[in-house]
Structure 1
Amino acid sequence: MKFNKIPDDGLRLAANMETRYDAWLQAQRKIAAGRLQWKTSGDKEYLYRIIDSRGNGTSLGPRSQATEALMEAYRVARLTAEQTWDTLEREGRMYRALRLPRIASYGAEVLRELDVSGLLGESVLVVGTNALCAYVLEAGRFLGSELDATEDFDLTWVRDMRDNPAQSPLDQPSVFGVLKQVDSTYTVNAERPFQARNSQGNEVELLIAESLTGLPAYEKLRPIPLPEQNWLLPGQRISHITCGMDGTPARVVAPDPRWFALHKLWLSEKETRNALKKDKDRAQGETILQLVHEHMPHFPMDRRFEESLPIELRTYFEAWKQGTDRAPSAAP
């Protein structure tokens, strides 16, 4: 397979959007912590952080140099968020025109909220077909459009609760809570409790590796631990800014492409896998392995990598090597 190069102006645009998105994200996180407002009590003014729609909040103290500095930082954050978002929307239209890789618009909205909440990359990764956007931008090469189509949006939980003990819902955001912020019509599918669906039929699924200790008790989505999800935890994750179909930006944080590809090849032969998905799994796995081999030298597929693979995945890696006449180089 020949991979067409993403034009240089497309790569520059993606890099510029990355910088601007980071500025927007930091500003948006300050805003999401709560709106600041002066309130008068007696003959003094107090700075409050508003925590609900009724105007209730917590006092940050009387007006002083310190609280005035907090209010100024909040004002700057709001201005930064507005200005950078306007620029990102303009760049998003250019991104669409260049036909750079995109995801479903509702998925982009979900990812932005997960990013603002701090869950994206720390607690959850993007898996499934939507992860391909990150690999395309990392390699600077287009994939065939037939590999991109998807009807759902898959996430996998990656935070080990032994290292991060569960806290109260007030201290930590949940995936389902973020979905409700995006769209209040999201509900947990009673028959598939790892899946949430909104009134438009958009689906978000949360998966988890068998090796992890589980999710926080306050997380309403309850995925079944799967051994194959363990294979998406190792290696070096990839993060890139992509866009929804509507041109709005979002960050995709995806697993190591080598492990992702081999995981896809394994899925293509899993007995309980939906037969309609198996051909796509195989095509994605083989394509990403080739993409890594030809255009991602910083993800070596050497002997050290091969020796790190469990026997289930090593079989597929060896078959890929033989089929393409590629042998792993010696590890340095």
Structure 2
Amino acid sequence: MAVIQPFSAEQERALVNMRQRYDAWIEADRELYAMPYDLRRKKVGEYEYLYEIFDRSGNGKSLGAWDDDKQSQLEEYKAAKAALKERRDGARDALGESSRIARALRLPLLSADAGPILREADKRSLLGSHLLVVGTNAMAAYALEAAGTFRDVPDETEDFDLAWTADEPEDGTQLWDMLKAVDPTFTINTEREFQARNAKAYEVELLVAPSRVETLAGKDRPRPVPLPEQEWLLPGRRVDQVVPCRDGSPARIVAPDPRWFALHKLWLGAQAKRNPLKRRKDTVQGAALLEAVAEAMPHYSLGQEFVESLPDELVRYWEEWAKARG
């Protein structure tokens, strides 16, 4: 039996509409995020100034003494921000409708807890460039890439694995600021510094390949332990899909090349030190995903060029899968 149950025409149409509306919404939301938090006319002593405000506490800096140019600058800012909010809110309403329809059509779903994190990361332009979804939550994106639903394959967990993948060194605390913006109750697990946990005990774990560990700013958190096997998730062509969440909202997932992710999962499933329950899940997911690539993702070649690119550690799992498939 095929591992993928193809989507119906109605399901495909719902996904196309949701993606189009998501792109319109996130574009407006990114533009809003890039604007100053606020501009205000402020009196200091006997003089007035135009101030750029950074946060809710009113911290900011002067942009210069108040004059006609500053008044025009403030008016233009307010008009641009109002127009962007109107555009974003209109797109959000249409997007919400599309996402609710997608959920009702029994499409692959993402955890409601993961959705806000992904949307905030996307607003800050971190998805794909700095962060990849590398855990079980990625399976929903792979299902959409295969234009169908996995049969009898676990596709959701109550934690969230992200990989840091930035090419160039970053400053500040981009990742931690993003998590705290989603939920201020996030704290670092002092016993596992690569893990953040919120008041509901929802866990976000950060992974990193040794080649990318130096690009994470020294003050940023969580602090991942470099894992050599994370290098396997960097090459190839990444999957980029917008997935409905269980609460009816949408979220964008950028995940590793499904061929590499599948073999990585098969490798994980063979690691004796790993939790036995997770090992079984890893093996099932890895085998199913490779089969889905063979069945429904012709744009991801499983030909000789790909096989020759595999490191020695993964060749065994490729050969075992290929032999079992016949």
TM-score by length of 2: 0.91
Q: Tell me the residue number matched to 1:297.
A: 298
Gaps of 5+ in 2: none
Q: Structure 1: which amino acid aligns with 2:106?
A: R
What is the match of residue 124 of structure 2? 117
Mapping of residues 240-259 of structure 1, within 5 Å: 240-259=241-260
Residue 107 (structure 1) shift? 0.5
CA distance in 1, matches of 2:249, 2:9: 21
Query: Quick one: structure 1 residues 57 and 78, their matched pair in 2 at CA, closer, same or farther if it must change by over 3 Å?
Result: farther
Report if aligned partners of 1:47, 1:63 keep a CA contact under 8 Å in 2: yes
Structure 1 counterpart of 2:182, one-letter code: V
Residue 262 of structure 2 corresponds to which residue in structure 1?
261
Q: Structure 1 length normalisation: TM-score? A: 0.89
Q: Cα offset for 1:63? A: 3.9
Other structure's SS at 1:105 match: coil
Equivalent pair of 1:124/1:155 in contact (CA under 8 Å): yes
- 1:90-139 deviation per Cα after TM superposition (whole angstroms, max 9, x unaligned): 12211110011111111000111111112111111001110011111111
Contact 2:153 2:284 in 1 (8 A): no
Distance of 2:12 and 2:48 partners within structure 1: 50
Does the 8 Å CA contact 1:133/1:242 hold for their aligned counterparts? Answer: yes
- RMSD of aligned Cα (Å): 2.1
SS at match of 1:128: coil
Q: Is the 8 A contact 1:30 1:74 kept in 2?
A: no
Say yes or no: does 1:142 pair with 2:145. no
Q: How is 1:14-163 mapped onto 2 (pairs within 5 angstroms)? A: 14-33=15-34, 34-39=36-41, 48-58=51-61, 62-63=69-70, 68-160=75-167
Q: How does 1:186-201 map to 2 (within 5 A)?
A: 186-201=186-201
Aligned partners of 2:86 and 2:152: how far apart in 1?
Answer: 38
Task: Report sequence identity in percent.
Answer: 45
CA contact (8 A) 2:40 2:53 kept: no
Q: Tell me what 1:180 maps to.
A: 180
Amino acid of the structure 2 residue aligned with 1:303: Q
What amino acid is the match of 1:287?
A
TM superposition shift of 1:44: 10
Question: Secondary structure of the equivalent of 2:217?
Answer: coil
Deviation at 1:41, TM superposition (A): 5.3
**How far did 1:166 drift?**
3.2
Number of aligned residue pairs: 318
Which consecutive unaligned segments of at least 5 residues does structure 1 have? 326-332
